[in-house]
Structure 1
Amino acid sequence: MADDPASLTKETFISKVPKKSPLMLRMIVLVFAMVCGVFICSVCLKQISTRSKVGFMKVEVIDMPCSKPTIDPSDAPFVHFPKPTTYSRAECACHPVRYFAILSMQRSGSGWFETLLNNHTNISSNGEIFSVKVRRSNISTIVETLDKVYNLDWFTSASKNECTAAVGLKWMLNQGLMQHHEEIVEYFKRRGVSAIFLFRRNLLRRMISVLANSYDRDAKLLNGTHKSHVHSHHEADILAKYKPVINATLLIPNLKQVEDTTTKALEYFNSTRHIVMYYEDVVKNRTKLRDVQDFLKVPQRKLKSRQVKIHRGPLSNQIDNWEDVQKALQGSRYETFLNADYRK
């Protein structure tokens, strides 16, 4: 039987198709695999993103603000909840903190007074910070330093940063305070800072302390070391042996200058929330320390200091030219300084 041309052509065509089929199938499988891969990757990425968001949300829940105590509206400007940049206040974050500054003059008992405050478990007074000139070179450096103190980012041996209830510093009137008083008063009002004035009634005794301390800076009577404050009666007796000579001619003008500076300070900061304390009153009546604790709104504690008074006894034993000083002050408004109780 003769072969049919048509059937031969059909068989030839059919025999050629299988040669192209494997290549096309491979291409289809490859494309399908790529599509599946892209789909699977996208699903995985979405799952990872979702987990990240969940984790972030958990952190936010942990850092949620805590419940702060109810505060009297009139007291609100003086209550703060600082957020230090150098550490976390942790469980103390919701404990209110009050800001204060001890404003005083050298040798007025401010060092002793500050040790009493720091004896309180909730008070941190960071010392005479502005004794360093660069910190008081201009109002900008002053504000920068104050911000660091009141943000609880200033570290000293007195710092009780996490759970402190009152934080402040000791500031002498001649350390930029009077020079920039307008800006500082504005800062105190804006930040809610309270002022504790500490002065000395007997300015003659203060003068003796100033002169003796100035002498010891060079003489270094305590084994070649200068100490402004001491913690033993033995050291106090050594420093008290020095008897300064007081310029009797300039005595009254000098006393008046100190008096005027005190008056100006009270006038400048009159609009600031403040309390006025005198060294002699605190020594004589320790209930004055209760007034300070009430002022700072901290729990009442019995406060102690290790410092020992250097100049004790009558003034006649502490001044080298006592008779000249007596004559200069007799009949003046400062005559009472001569016979004041030596225990003060």
Structure 2
Amino acid sequence: MAEDCCSFNKDSLNIKPPKKSPLVLRTVVLVAVMICVVYIFSVCLELIGNHREPRIIKIELAEQPCHNPGIPQAEIPYVHYPEPSTYSREECACTPVRYFAILSMQRSGSGWFETLLNSHINISSNGEIFSAKERRSNISAITKTLDKVYNLDWYSSASKNECTAAIGFKWMLNQGLMTYHEEIVNYFKIRGVSAIFLFRRNLLRQMVSILANNHDRSTKQLNGTHKAHVHSKDEAYVLARYKPIIDATSLVPNLRNTRESASNILRYFKSTRHIVLYYEDLIQNHNKMVDILDFLKVPRRKLVSRHVKIHTRPLSEQVQKWNDVYHALKGTQYEKFLTADYEM
């Protein structure tokens, strides 16, 4: 009986799986393979399509580079191709542009000098832009203004849009230039800005011009209008009638401070690309302006200005209490300022 309980029928444990047709299996495998092939092919087409467009753009950009093989290697850091946000340079987009700044002092001939530059069809000098205090309140404001000028987005009467080949402005030493000189020198070197220094040899004549200009600013002698520069001999005659009084006791220290300021700014910017000019040299020899055009790498052209010189007479006839001035400078290193050092 025990054997009966623990014994199994062998036939009952022999379970066989149902048979499947080989044709069905082959069909399933074939369909799966075809689906995979179609999917992989479609993905490859999509990837090829996505890569095709950038390649075309790269080729188009490479076909029209702004590169002039005639520019010497040493000049490349000073050659720029600005892209203004306010207009398109169109056919002159690949015309190289040089950046410059005229670094000077009040009444050093910078206004006259700038009109000469602006008479050139390819030069735009935008005036004394840092006379506005908010533009020089800090280095960030200064940098923002410089970027706008050198990107050709600064608009003034001197602006020449498409054909500009040299862009700049006037910058007086007392308009933040001395305060932030380290940051500005660094900016000039990084952006490839060239400095044009314009000074006056005869600092006494410069002082007379400053005092006379300050007087006209308050009195407005020309029909109630202040004019720092004039375009007629009649206007010049009116302004030249004023004879300022110079404080003889502080004259030498004031001249010394002016000279030191010029020396300091030259020392600060000695590592930048620059040229040093003197007003008297330009007056005596107008051909000196050719040096400036060559410095800016623009075509040589005849330059003109409508400015008329105001103070043309000897200093002894343009200053009150001349004897005090004469004796204050006699025997000093500034004695040479007592006489004119250039032909009128």
TM bin, normalised by shorter chain, reads 0.7 to 0.9
Q: Is the 8 A contact 1:177 1:184 kept in 2?
A: yes
AA at the equivalent of 2:299: P
Task: Tell me how far apart the structure 1 counterparts of residues 287 and 272 of structure 2 sit (CA, whole Å).
Answer: 24
1:224 correspondence with 2:224 = yes
Q: 2: CA distance between counterparts of 1:173 and 1:335? A: 25
Offset at 1:287? 1.5
Judged with a 3 Å threshold, the aligned counterparts in structure 2 of structure 1 residues 62 and 260 are, in CA distance, closer, same or farther, namely closer
Match of 2:150 in 1: 150
Mapping 1:194-209, distance limit 5 Å:
194-209=194-209
**C-alpha deviation, 1:66, in angstroms:** 4.1
Q: TM-score, normalised by structure 2?
A: 0.81
The answer on whether the counterparts of 2:122 and 2:165 sit within 8 Å (CA) in structure 1 is yes
Counterpart in the other structure of 1:107: 107
Structure 1 unaligned spans of 5+: 1-49
Structure-1-length-normalised TM-score: 0.81
Deviation readout 1:296-315 (Å, 9 max, x if unpaired): 00100111100000001101
Conserved in 2, the CA contact under 8 Å of 1:243 and 1:319? yes
Superposition CA RMSD, Å:
1.8
Q: Distance in 2 between matches of 1:83 and 1:136?
A: 25
SS at match of 1:230: coil
Say which SS state the counterpart of residue 206 (structure 1) adopts: helix
Count residues in correspondence: 290
Q: Match of 1:136? A: 136
Match of 1:69 in 2: 68
Q: Secondary structure at the match of 2:99?
A: strand
**Structure 1 residue ranges, 4+ long, deviating more than 6 angstroms after superposition:** none
Using the TM superposition, give the Cα deviation of residue 65 of structure 1 relative to its aligned residue in structure 2, in angstroms: 3.8
Alpha-carbon distance between aligned partners in 1 of 2:62 and 2:131, rounded to the nearest angstrom: 39
Aligned-pair distance for 1:61? 5.3
Deviation of 1:341 after TM superposition, in Å, equals 3.7
Q: Deviation digits for residues 177-222 of structure 1, max 9, x if unmatched?
A: 0100000000000000000000000000000000000011111000
How far apart are 1:342 and its partner, in Å?
A: 6.0
Task: Please tell me whether residue 78 in structure 1 is matched to residue 67 in structure 2.
Answer: no
Q: Are 1:196 and 1:277, in contact at CA under 8 Å, matched by a contact in 2? A: yes
* Equivalent pair of 1:315/1:342 in contact (CA under 8 Å): no
Q: Deviations over 1:255-307 (max 9, x none)?
A: 00000000000000000000000000000011210000010001001111000
Give the aligned residue type for 2:257: Q
> Is the contact between residue 82 and residue 150 of structure 1 (CA under 8 Å) also seen in structure 2?
yes
> Hey, what's the Cα distance between the residues in 1 that align with 2:186 and 2:257?
26
CA drift of 1:339 comes to 1.4
The aligned residue for residue 124 of structure 2 is 124
